[in-house]
Amino acid sequence: MTFRTLLIASSALAGLPTLALAQEAAPAEAAPAPTTQVAEAASTFTGDEIVVTARRREETAQEVPLAISVVTADSIEATGNFNIVKLQQLAPTLQVYSSNPRNTAVNIRGLGVPYGLTSDGFEQGVGIYVDDVYNSRVASATFDFLDVRQVEVLRGPQGTLYGKNTTAGAINITTNQPTFEFEGRAEVTFGNLDYKQAKAAVSGPLSDKLAARIAVATTSRRGTVFNTRTDRYINEQDNLGVRGQLLFRPNDDLSLTLAGDYSRQEPECCGTVFVRTGLTQRPLNRQYAALAAAQGYTVVSRNPFDRLTDIDASLRAGNQIGGASLKAVWDLGAGTLSSITAWRFWDWKPENDRDFTGLAIVSKSQNPSQQDQYSQEFRYNYSGEKADFVVGLFGFDQRIDTQGLEQQGLAASRWNLAPSADPANIANNPATLNGLSAINTQYLKSTSAAAFGQVSWKLTDAFTVQPGVRINYDKKSGFYQRRVLDAAGVDVTTQPASAIRTARLGVYQAQISEPSVSDWNFSYDLNLNYALADDLLTYATYAKSFKTVGINQNGLPTDAAGNPILGAGVIKPESVNHFEAGLKTQFWDRKATLNVSAFLTDIKNYQATVTNGQLGVLRGYLANAGKVRSQGVEADFSIRPSERFTAYANGAYTDAKYVRFVDAPCPPELSGGTAATAANPASAPGTPGGFSPANCDISGQRLPGVSEWAFSYGAEVNAPVTLLAKEGQAYLGIDGNYRSGFSSNPSQSIYTNIEGYAVTNFRVGFRTEAGIDLFGWVRNAFDTNYFELLQVAPSNVGLVAGQLGDPRTYGLTIKARF
């Protein structure tokens, strides 16, 4: 039995003595309408305040002098936002993009990670924490929230209070903890598309000093795209998660919490649909229309919202995440000492269709990887009459191993090789490329250590000065090797020179690199906040932050002779200057809350994803852009005039641009042609057979994936009723979100702009004072057609494929608490 199997079993057994069904609803008088305001807000109709731990101590959200969105568990469940990917519907400045769990990007205000294919060699700009444990892989964002109490979305650099430095923000997830009073919660949901979701949690004492809690969640749903090739729906949901916790409290001053969790996904995912084609600079007979016609291929549908595809390669998104942690909290009287020790793992087993067609061009694309990470944090919190402070130490060690396989298929030769007068006729011979494989072996070792601290010095009852500092050391070393084998398994690089060998090495290039780097960084911030009056707080923040140095872990670009450019193996750290000012206020006897913030973030040496468009050679690598700027304004408003009505509206304007990026990858309409020279300058975009620049100056263009305008809103009204002899509330709720258009390509392209869209959801239900909640819901009620992501196919053939947003879904949820 493996250690991970033992972990799964122990997670389940941790709460077995008190196992029972549990539920996520509160009694009727305590059940809140969904709220996402960034301030003190009633978590119940009785006027309770939302308590957060953003500054590593418990305080109301309205007291925190920074921009923070708080989403309670009831809001998450009522609106169906059951993971971070869906959470962006409630938080306008949060952007999440996912072509599959590995290639998931979580950004705040347009910043965090570069848009496009991911690499293990760089850090997240948005940290994801679950009960103080840092999750280094964004893949965790695709899993169900598991027994979550609330989620805090912190905007702006968070390096002087959190274990891992983050330049764009942090998502702080707090789960429900073991209790010394028995409680149980349960929830089941059924919907169209064979949607089924079940959640359960139970907590209670095992003795007067020991308490346990166990929670499970499972989600399944039929896919939303039909694959005519395999005669089944794809892009389904298939999630399972379990968490177990033991709380040992020998006295009032000390508590020890041992937690273990395991989650897995095994869907047939993640396929694309045909969206459109656009002219590139390749010769016309080498573009999509001519290549498809030459092989007698016709796409199953040219309307993406028919939700049909015919991709032929096998699909899989096997995903397992889990770990264990031990948290000790010791009350020392004057302050509190905390220790968080954690281990986490991530196993990724993918299979993809990299050519986005029903032709056997790329027949296999599989890059499984395994990660282990260890972290240790010590933190001391002190609260005094004139000053509060936090000091901490953080250590992190990570290893990721990847084994890659990409293989060409029967249609590859005619698709990738230009016809010629060569008597061997290699371009029309399927055997030229069929079975040609690129075998990648790689690993990454990453170590970091940091000391950090922040003090809140109360100069007066109204005015507080809050400086913070951080010193950070990072070391990264990697290994990458690509071997090229023919269909018989023979290394192509060892074969005699021939036209076939040259053609094969033009598709896959052998390479080996061992990048390594270490770096020290010092960062700091200063926050000034002043209470102009009761319930009226103003603040201003300056932060000098960084994103640590990175390495290219997926191979290196090559020079004219085909040799790896070793200098491209290391990516400089980002240098961040962040300015922010805000106002937090409540009025109308605290029945209304309005918070406003304005920000400007400049990043030098921005770590960007660069792609070269070649099939199978090097899909993407990291490089430094000169400068990026994100600036904007955010506003969050909520109102609760009575226990019968509540509403919120959140909005954000974000202007995120490349200030200077002079050697960026060109968009598809400028790619694929003969290299431009002084004698033959670059042709106009979309000129078949034209001349293409080696790179493009995209200074002034918007960052990909960022909408200028984003809004979310919601409201709920209820009335007391008696139904089937049960007293309770009947309620009607609405929530929705809007995003303006955005670019879906690292360099803005006329072919990959996604139009703005709005999604509206409704629910109607009945909740009782005894803790029963029954409601029906419809999401995307107006069946809006929209894209979540557009992708450009390799080889500059002009094909654009996409991933679709969910269609209209509807269902019924039943929750109970006891």
CATH code for the domain in which residue 684 is found: 2.40.170.20
- The DSSP symbol for 285 reads G
Q: Is 174 helix (H, G, I), strand (E, B) or coil?
A: strand
> Highest-confidence range of 91-100, 129-138, 645-654, by mean pLDDT?
645-654
pLDDT at 31: 37
Q: Measure CA 558 to chain center.
A: 30
Q: Which domain holds residue 386?
A: 3-817
Contact 170, 70 (CB under 8 A): no
**Do strands 59-60 and 51-52 pair parallel, antiparallel, or not at all (unpaired)?**
antiparallel
Q: How far is the C-alpha of 436 from the C-alpha of 788, rounded, in Å? A: 33
Residue 3 vs residue 52, higher pLDDT: 52
Q: If we measure between CA atoms, which residue out of 808, 804, 807 comes closest to residue 788? A: 804
Q: What's the rounded mean pLDDT across residues 695-702?
A: 93
| Two structure tokens written together for 13 | 């057994």
Q: If we measure between CA atoms, which residue out of 581, 621, 703 comes closest to residue 117? A: 621
Q: Domains in the chain: how many in total?
A: 1
For the stretch 274-294, pLDDT in tens is 999 999 999 999 999 999 999
Count other Cβ atoms within 10 Å, centred on residue 797: 28
- The DSSP symbol for 756 reads P
Contact 428, 419 (CB under 8 A): yes
pLDDT at 103: 83
> Highest-confidence range of 8-12, 520-524, 745-749, by mean pLDDT?
520-524
Count other Cβ atoms within 10 Å, centred on residue 15: 26
| Two structure tokens written together for 242 | 């379990």
For the stretch 443-485, pLDDT in tens is 999 999 999 999 999 999 999 999 999 999 999 999 999 999 9
pLDDT at 42 over 50: no
Count other Cβ atoms within 10 Å, centred on residue 255: 19
pLDDT confidence bin for 61, thresholds 50/70/90 = confident
Contact 551, 517 (CB under 8 A): yes
| Two structure tokens written together for 254 | 């000390």
pLDDT at 422: 63
pLDDT at 17: 34
| Two structure tokens written together for 8 | 């799964």
Question: Which helix (DSSP H) or strand (DSSP E) does residue 566 occupy?
Answer: none
Q: What's the rounded mean pLDDT across residues 232-249?
A: 97
| Two structure tokens written together for 809 | 């879904």
Count other Cβ atoms within 10 Å, centred on residue 251: 8
Q: Could you identify the residue written with the tokens 């790689």?
A: 442
Residues belonging to the chain = 818
Q: Measure CA 173 to chain center.
A: 14
Which residues does 466 contact at the CB level (< 8 Å), separation at least 6?
65, 454, 455, 456, 457, 526, 527, 528, 529
